[in-house]
Structure 1
Amino acid sequence: MEMKKFYITTPLYYVNDKPHIGHAYTTILADVIARYKKMFNEKVFFLTGTDEHGQKVQEAADKLNTNAKQHVDKFHKNYIELWNKLNIDYDKFIRTTDQSHQSKVKIMLQNFWDKGEIYLSEYEGLYSVSEERFITEKEYSEGNFRQVTKIKEKNYFFRMSKYQSRLIEYIKQNPNFIMPDTRKNEILGFLRKPLADLCISRPKSRLKWGIEIPFDENYVTYVWFDALLNYITAIDWNQKEKNFNYWWPADYHLIGKDIITTHAVYWITMLMAAKLPLPKHILAHGWWLMENEKISKSVGNVVNPIDLIDYFGEDALRYFLMREMTLGQDSSFSFELFKKRFNDDLANDLGNVLNRVTILIRKFCKNKVPSITNTDDTDKDMIDKIKSLHKVATRHIEKLNISQLIDDVMSVVRDVNKYLEIKQPWKTLKVDQSNYDGLNTLSISAEAIAQATKILYPVIPGKSTSILSILGLNSKDFNNFEFGFLVNNNISKHGPLFPRIEND
């Protein structure tokens, strides 16, 4: 039976500055989903990368007295460093300065020009340097744009308006195309007004850093037109058609809600013009807030994820971000929340039950997980919860409910602690080390920890590997969800995996 394929992407991150936890969240989310899909025996391609052209890059390089290429060659490494520290298992990191990407962008531009999808026209309007696009008077009046100037110049335009009706119809006929519903409704509201054509060029007289328009050497390509094409250039569009046709269309484009219009309107109409299949889903997540303000470079309230990783470890950050945000909603970050979530869930619940069970097995069972015999109703109830974990995970992953998945797994972990308190195996085994009720309790508890840890592996791969190793398992066992496979495994001695975060 042929494996199902799964293609997931993050947006391309703007190379200009160091990444913050908003960037980390999107990429961890993609990584977690990709790991779950691999767990369920799907063939996965996970794409991320950096957007390296545009006016802001050119200006930043000028301020540093360097050229733009040297600037992006240096700063894109910030993302690679963070993804390595976060244990992100991507399949490809694309840069828009890659020659293979640039050549394919030029091919697409030439195709559009030859088909009449692009035309030259003079335009006068307001231009936002921060957004690197023309904005409307209404947008300007709302005061959300910095460095706005009035510009009159000739530019090339993509006939985006031509596809408005088709786009509206497609969104309405495919209710899960844009997720969540709030973002879908936002786009449908945006499309109630006539859609303007998209300016896809910048004259070299004011911007030299970009991909040259193939049919006019006096212009470079608009940064969004260039960047959006990465989703197909990365999988060999117009080069290795077999590879491209295998992976495309993407299953999920993961993005922040602030770039929903560029993906749900610009990108989709570009694909329609190119006569290419559309991605299956565009999922726009919420913002991370600190004191009710979006965490962003421009606001200046950026939380450096590398500092958190260096102090608390990558799995602590991965767990917090995945557990704390419900898809589609905004979420708050504070060090108090971070500490509470870590201590409550990982130190007090998972870490505590692991310590209790392994110490008891080593003390009463000569380091080996005992057999299970003559189970009572309390045992059977616990076993049923353990056996349900894989189905629960499958159900939540289909809907990308990572936060709820984690909550359900941790609920079972808490149930193990309650189960131990009810059974009190340390008392029965102290009297009789062959007492089957006490032995059952320890074996079933160890089984629960192992199964819960396997489900949590995509979220906290580092610590999960350590826990499973303590329980005598190696990587080939990680996808084995049959009950009872731990019996006779040797339990290793270990220190605390999740030491509590103290107030200082």
Structure 2
Amino acid sequence: MPRPTRYITTPIYYVNDVPHIGHAYTTIACDVWARFWRLDGAEVFFLTGTDEHGQKVAKAAEASGESPQAFTDRVSQTFRELARSMNIANDDFIRTTEPRHYRACEELWRRIHAAGDLYLGEYGGWYAVRDEAFYRESETTLGEDGVRRGPTGAPVEWVKEPSWFFRLSAWQERLLELYERNPDFIQPTSRRNEVISFVRAGLEDLSVSRTSFAWGVPVPDSPGHVMYVWLDALTNYLTAAGFPDETHPRWRFWPADVHVVGKDILRFHAVYWPAFLMSAGLPPPKRVFAHGWWTVEGQKMSKSLGNVVDPREEIARVGLDPFRFFLLREIPFGQDGDFTRRGLLKRLNVDLANEFGNLAQRTLGFVARNTGGVLPSPDVLSEDDRALLDAAAGLLPAMRIEIERFAFHAALEGAWQVIRDANAYIDREKPWALRKEDPVRMGTVLWVLAETLRRLAILLQPVMPDTMGRLLDQLGVGTEARDFAALAHPLPGGRPLPQPEPLFRKVEETVGQGG
């Protein structure tokens, strides 16, 4: 029986700036989703990369005194390095300046053109270079400073130039039908409602080429025109799947299971992208999930405030796995959240060190000191034993549901309930008293705790891969027995365990960390 396929994408990150916590958040969430389904037996394709064309990049390159290609080569590498530093297990890193991407864009354009959905005209409208987006006049406001701005606050300028147009207006009803047939196409629900309202308000044809600059994918058979950066950028998801070669081994992953995006680029992914694809005769993605934004210590993150969070600095402070855990545990994915260093340290010191790390240390330390470092075999299981083991066994089906719907916080809360149950079990069973009173019972209690730890470690690998790998090492679990199928085979007693080491080290809060 063939393994199920899953295809997940981050947005491709725009190279006009350096990576920050927002990029880390999206990429880590996708990484956890991808790792989870791989461990559950699926064949997963996980894509990230960089978006390298457009007027904004051309201006940023000019300001830095570099050619656009040299500029994008340099900045794209910082995103690749960030992915490595966060232990991201992506299968491909796409750049929109690659020849394979040009081929995919040209073929998509030709198919849309053949469908009759492109026509040549002249564009006149408000354009935000910062957003690489066109806005209706009703979406702009004129400030007291005399500057007209779009809904994101980005300045807009009146642009008038020859342009190819996509007949987006002709797709209004078909898009609404798509949303109606697929209620989960846009998530969370609040974002779905926003998109439906936008589409119902009426769609205008979309300018999809530019002639005022040249840094982009050339439009086939139309000298002087480059593709609108969003048509170019969105096509990356097809490029990486092998398009236009539909015999490519990766093509079996299309349509993508989920595009994970920030809420600011939802319209491009949930309106323009499915219309482009359906026009070209291709199936749209199955789902677009828009997550929220992070503020920092209660303030909007901005370079002018000097409060942009560098993920690498936070990883250096607390460690990679605690940082990954914090981002997904702190707020429901899809909602806005506030980053505070106090909150980060609390998750490390309380959830990880005090609760989880202490559970592992109490259990494995007791085995090392009292059973000669050999894991005991269980005797007759009591009701209390079975209750804890059943709670641990119930985690996988519950986590499948939560991870599929990107409710990482709920999946982690379920795991932490078992951790708290296990700590309470130790306090009730008192293995230190059983050592003298009933050593056979003590052995059963230690085995139940070790088996609970094994289940937790296997299931939490997607979130904290390195730390859970170390815990599985300490439990004597080989690398061949760490996928979810291995959960069906309990720990054998009688095996010697290595000397335990702490999983997490507390970090003391220092004055001035705020929050």
Give the shorter-chain TM-score range. over 0.9
Shift of 1:387: 2.0
AA partner of residue 500 (structure 2): H
Q: Deviations over 1:318-345 (max 9, x none)?
A: 1001111212211111101000111111
Give 2:457's aligned residue.
453
Q: Deviations over 1:122-177 (max 9, x none)?
A: 22222211112322222211743333222222211111111111101110121111
Distance 1:297 1:254 in 2: 25
1:76-91 equivalent positions in 2, closer than 5 A: 76-91=76-91
Partner of 1:494: 500
Q: 1:296 to 1:278 in 2, by over 3 A?
A: farther
What's 1:336 paired with? 342
Counterpart selection for 1:174 from 182, 187, 193: 182
For 1:48 and 1:428, locate their aligned partners in 2 and report how far apart those are by CA, in whole Å. Answer: 53
Counterparts of 1:406-445 in structure 2, within 5 Å, are: 406-429=412-435, 431=436, 435-445=439-449
Spell out, residue by residue over 1:7-32, the C-alpha distance to the aligned partner (whole angstroms, 9 max, x if none). 11111100121111111111111111
1:247 alignment counterpart: 253
Equivalence for 2:209? 201
**Counterpart-to-counterpart distance in 2, 1:373 and 1:321:** 41
Residue by residue, what CA displacement relative to the aligned partner does 1:40-84 show, whole Å, maximum 9, x if unpaired?
Answer: 100000011100001111111111111000000001011111111
- Conserved in 1, the CA contact under 8 Å of 2:103 and 2:244? no
Matched residues in 1 for 2:40 and 2:501: separation?
32
Kindly indicate whether the alpha-carbon contact (under 8 Å) linking 1:288 and 1:331 is maintained by their aligned counterparts in 2. Answer: yes
For the pair 1:46 / 2:46, whether they are aligned, the reply is yes
CA distance in 2, matches of 1:297, 1:335: 18
Is contact 2:331-2:409 (8 Å) kept?
Answer: yes
The aligned residue for residue 104 of structure 2 is 104
Residue 465 and residue 269 in structure 1: after superposition, are their counterparts in 2 closer, same or farther (change >3 A)?
A: same
Judged with a 3 Å threshold, the aligned counterparts in structure 2 of structure 1 residues 131 and 400 are, in CA distance, closer, same or farther, namely: closer
| 1:144-223 to 2 correspondences below 5 Å | 144-203=152-211, 206-223=212-229
| Farther off after superposition, 26-35 or 123-132 | 123-132
Partner of 1:2 in structure 2?
2
Alignment check: 8 A CA contact 2:318 2:345 kept: no
**Unaligned 5+ residue runs, structure 1?**
none
Confirm or deny: 8 A CA contact 1:471 1:489 kept in the other structure. Answer: no
For residues 397-432 of structure 1, the C-alpha deviation after alignment (integer angstroms, 9 at most, x for no partner) is 233321111111111111111111111111221x25
The question of 1:463 aligning with 2:471 is answered no
Unmatched tracts of structure 2, length 5 or more: 143-148, 511-515
SS at match of 1:32: helix
With 459-468 and 305-314 compared, the bigger mean Cα shift is at: 305-314
Q: Percent identity over the alignment?
A: 38
The CA distance in 1 between the partners of 2:68 and 2:424, in whole Å, is 60
TM-score when scaled to structure 2? 0.94
SS of 1:8's partner is strand
Q: Compute the displacement of 1:114 (Å).
A: 3.7
- Report the Cα offset of residue 207 of structure 1: 1.3
* Normalised TM-score (structure 1): 0.96
Tell me the residue number matched to 2:513. none
Give how far 1:101 is off. Answer: 0.3
Q: How does 1:269-418 map to 2 (within 5 A)?
A: 269-295=275-301, 301-418=307-424
Q: Determine if contact 1:10/1:30 at 8 Å carries over to the other structure.
A: yes
Please state how far the C-alpha of 1:4 moved relative to its aligned partner. Answer: 0.5
Paired residues of 1:54 and 1:209 also in contact (CA < 8 A):
yes
Counterpart residue identity of residue 66, structure 2: T
Moved more, 455-464 or 400-409: 400-409
In 1, Cα distance between equivalents of 2:260 and 2:66: 33
Q: Distance in 1 between matches of 2:361 and 2:419?
A: 13
Q: Deviations over 1:192-212 (max 9, x none)?
A: 222011111111xx3121111
Q: Cα RMSD over matched residues?
A: 1.6
Contact 2:172/2:200 (8 A) holds in 1: no
Task: Report the AA paired with residue 71 of structure 1.
Answer: F
1:23 has 2:23 as partner: yes
d(CA) in 1 for partners of 2:188 and 2:240?
26
**Structure 1 counterpart of 2:200, which letter?**
R
SS of structure 1 residue aligned to 2:3: coil
Q: Secondary structure at the match of 2:394?
A: helix
Take 1:175 and 1:61, find their aligned partners in 2: how far apart are those partners?
Answer: 42
